[in-house]
């Protein structure tokens, strides 16, 4: 994987495979860019955090030596990571064949040696008034004036990764408090091939 920031004259490579005894950190499953930090979930669900704030070509693994596995009891679920406005990493899980319900988890702080456990997270039932843009992997403050509801997950349900059902696009919001799913059926008339939730920057 490589990155290039505004003003750089070349790309900088980030190795995804380790030649030491750190094979749990090999590969890439998910990534989220949050400010100047890049959150990486490895193939074995370990989370690395890279600091990209330095000069050209600079990056620092700030979890070097202390990466934490985000492992739930149900490894068959479709999973991804998300980052809250406070920088907390969440594990987001759903049924890969029927994304009508979500479960959220955070790191279990009571586990001293996570490498010895198959379940290293604890479930959370609220986003503390924030909303999750699952396509981008981070939360934003709720804002009813903008139509951003608290404790809601905004996502696109299209089934393409697992091909378990029709690839038809489905633009949805899942409410964690009521466990309800709302669709935007009027968008079906637009015959969209793909779509993405996003929030324009205020800068």
Q: What stretch of H or E contains 39? A: strand 37-41
At 203, is the pLDDT very low, low, confident or very high (cuts 50, 70, 90)? Answer: very low
3-class SS of residue 187: helix
Closest listed residue to residue 47, CA positions, set 17, 24, 75, 18: 24
Q: What is the DSSP letter of 84?
A: -
Asked if the structure places residue 7 within a domain, the reply is: yes
Asked if the structure places residue 54 within a domain, the reply is: yes
Asked if the structure places residue 184 within a domain, the reply is: no
Q: Which residues contact 63 (CB under 8 A, 6 or more apart)?
A: 47, 48, 49
Please name every residue paired with 80 in a beta bridge, in sequence order, or none if there are none: 92
Instruction: Taking residues 66-75, report their average pLDDT.
Output: 82
pLDDT of 63 over the 80 cut: yes
The pTM for the full model equals: 0.85
Asked if the structure places residue 198 within a domain, the reply is: no
Q: Which residues contact 179 (CB under 8 A, 6 or more apart)?
A: 101
pLDDT of 100 over the 90 cut: no
The whole-angstrom distance between residue 48's C-alpha and the CA centroid of its chain comes to 13
Asked if the structure places residue 188 within a domain, the reply is: no
For 50, the domain range is: 2-149
pLDDT in tens, 134-179: 989 999 999 988 889 999 999 987 655 555 555 567 888 999 999 9
Asked if the structure places residue 182 within a domain, the reply is: no
Give the residue, 32 or 146, on which the prediction is more confident: 32
What percentage of the chain exceeds 90 in pLDDT?
40
Asked if the structure places residue 167 within a domain, the reply is: no
Number of independent structural domains in the chain:
1
Asked if the structure places residue 43 within a domain, the reply is: yes
């Amino acid at each position: 994987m490589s990155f290039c920031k505004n003003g750089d004259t070349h790309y900088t490579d980030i190795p995804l495979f380790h030649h030491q005894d750190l094979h749990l950190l090999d590969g890439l499953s998910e990534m989220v860019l949050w400010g100047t930090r890049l959150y990486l979930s490895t193939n074995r669900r370990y989370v690395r955090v890279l600091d990209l704030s330095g000069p050209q070509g600079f990056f620092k693994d700030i979890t070097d030596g202390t990466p934490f596995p985000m492992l739930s009891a149900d490894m068959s679920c479709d999973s991804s990571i998300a980052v809250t406005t406070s920088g907390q990493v969440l594990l987001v899980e759903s049924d890969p064949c029927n994304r009508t319900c979500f479960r959220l988890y955070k790191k279990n702080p009571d586990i001293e040696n996570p490498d010895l456990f198959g379940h290293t997270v604890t479930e959370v039932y609220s986003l503390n008034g924030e909303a999750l843009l699952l396509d981008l992997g981070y939360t934003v403050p709720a804002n009813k004036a903008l139509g951003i509801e608290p404790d809601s997950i905004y996502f696109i349900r299209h089934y393409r990764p697992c091909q378990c059902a029709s690839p038809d696009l489905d633009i949805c919001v899942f409410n964690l408090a009521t466990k309800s799913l709302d669709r935007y059926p009027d968008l079906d008339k637009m015959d969209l091939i793909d779509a993405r939730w996003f929030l324009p920057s205020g800068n």
